[in-house]
Amino acid sequence: MRALEALVVQNLSVAYDKKRVLENANLIVPKGHLAAIIGPNGAGKSTFLKAVLNQLPNKVGEVEILGKAFSPKSLVVGYVPQRNAVDWDFPTTAFDVVLMGRYGSRGLMKRPTKHDKQLAMQALTSVGMEDYADRSIGQLSGGQQQRVFLARALAQNAEVYFLDEPFAGVDAATEKTIIDILKNLKAQGKSIFVVHHDLQTVKEYFDYTILLNKTILAAGKTEEVFTAEKLQQTYGGNLFMMQAL
């Protein structure tokens, strides 16, 4: 029996208003990698993530996470979306936010249990924010907020994680904390996918790289895929960070 892949994407296409945003994306990623999804702006990275998480009803093609299509009931996936839609004025504490990570598993209308609350507190501690449990989410700094959101995903106790630009607007210390946690997850055998924007840190953080620009241009171990030639293909035009390689 073949081991389940972390992510299998077959002929995925998504169109908005007759414009093709993703076209024929194909991807097979084995388990246990910390993978970066990189590509220029407008390449369709966020769309790709949404399609994988089954949020786009008009997608064409197949997506399987650990052998199954994504459904919050049958599969537990940790998700850290972008932060721009969040209402920071909302009256909720850091602990409350992390507890929200347990809502999916509870089902509608059921109250969180003691066990849920324990898991939430553990997750909060693992990102080093246990002292801020009672703080209003709006009072935290950008980096602290991002750590709380990561804790929320960790509280889901998933096997596969998807993070959408987790390092945007985050200070260096927090970035280090987060990447350490992600590496830890990988060490535990989990699979992590990160939409990442900073080419400088790809080699240091990720052992697997996916190049995306309207389709999957390349995917594989970072040292094989993250080359000048492939990057040129993906980004087109001049790349000023050639030196980083």
Partner 1 sequence: MLSGNLLWVLMGTMLLGIAAGITGTFSFLQKQSLVGDAAAHAALPGIALAFLITGQKELPILMIGAALTSALSVYCIQWIVTYSKLKADAAIGLVLAVFFGIGIVLLTIVNRSPLGNQSGLNDFIFGKAATMTKADLTWLFISAAIIIIVSLLLYKEWKLMIFDPVYAKGIGLPIEALKACLTALIVMTIVTGIQAVGVILMSALLIIPAASAKLWTRRLSTMLIFSGITGGIAGLAGTFISSLRTGLSTGPIIVLFAATIFFISYLFSPKAGQLSKYIRKMKFRKQEKLS
Residue pair 43/212 in contact by the 8 Å Cβ criterion: yes
Question: Which stretches of the chain are assigned E, i.e. beta strand?
Answer: 7-16, 19-29, 34-38, 60-65, 77-80, 160-164, 191-195, 208-212, 216-221
Residue pair 65/158 in contact by the 8 Å Cβ criterion: no
Q: Does 81 bind partner 1 (CB under 8 A)?
A: yes
Stretch that binds partner 1, among 34-42, 96-104, 204-212, 229-237 (CB under 8 A): 96-104
Q: Which two tokens stand for residue 219?
A: 């995917």
Q: Closer to partner 1 at the Cβ: 39 or 101?
A: 101
Stretch that binds partner 1, among 29-37, 102-110, 209-217, 226-234 (CB under 8 A): 102-110
Measured on CA atoms in the order 201, 203, 209, 214, is the torsion positive or negative? positive
Among the listed residues 4, 8, 100, 168, the single contact to partner 1 using CB under 8 A: 100
Size of the residue set binding partner 1 (CB under 8 A):
28
Tell which residue, 192, 170, 165, 196, has the closest CA to residue 181. Answer: 192
Pairing type for strands 19-29 and 7-16 reads antiparallel
Q: What is the nearest approach in angstroms of partner 1 to the Cβ of residue 200?
A: 27
Q: What is the nearest approach in angstroms of partner 1 to the Cβ of residue 105?
A: 9
Which amino acid would we find at residue 7? L
Residues between 140 and 159 that touch partner 1 (CB under 8 A): 149, 152, 156
Q: Closer to partner 1 at the Cβ: 52 or 225?
A: 52
Among the listed residues 19, 58, 91, 173, the single contact to partner 1 using CB under 8 A: 91
Q: Does 113 bind partner 1 (CB under 8 A)?
A: no
Residues between 44 and 63 that touch partner 1 (CB under 8 A): 53, 55
Residue pair 135/152 in contact by the 8 Å Cβ criterion: no
Q: Does 13 bind partner 1 (CB under 8 A)?
A: no
Among the listed residues 73, 229, 237, 240, the single contact to partner 1 using CB under 8 A: 73
Burial bucket for residue 93 (CB in 10 Å: 0-12, 13-18, 19+) = middle
Among the listed residues 2, 58, 87, 172, the single contact to partner 1 using CB under 8 A: 87
Cα(66)–Cα(70) distance, rounded to whole angstroms? 9
**Residues in touch with partner 1 (CB under 8 A):** 53, 55, 71-73, 79, 81-82, 85-87, 90-93, 96-97, 100, 103-104, 108-109, 111-112, 136, 149, 152, 156
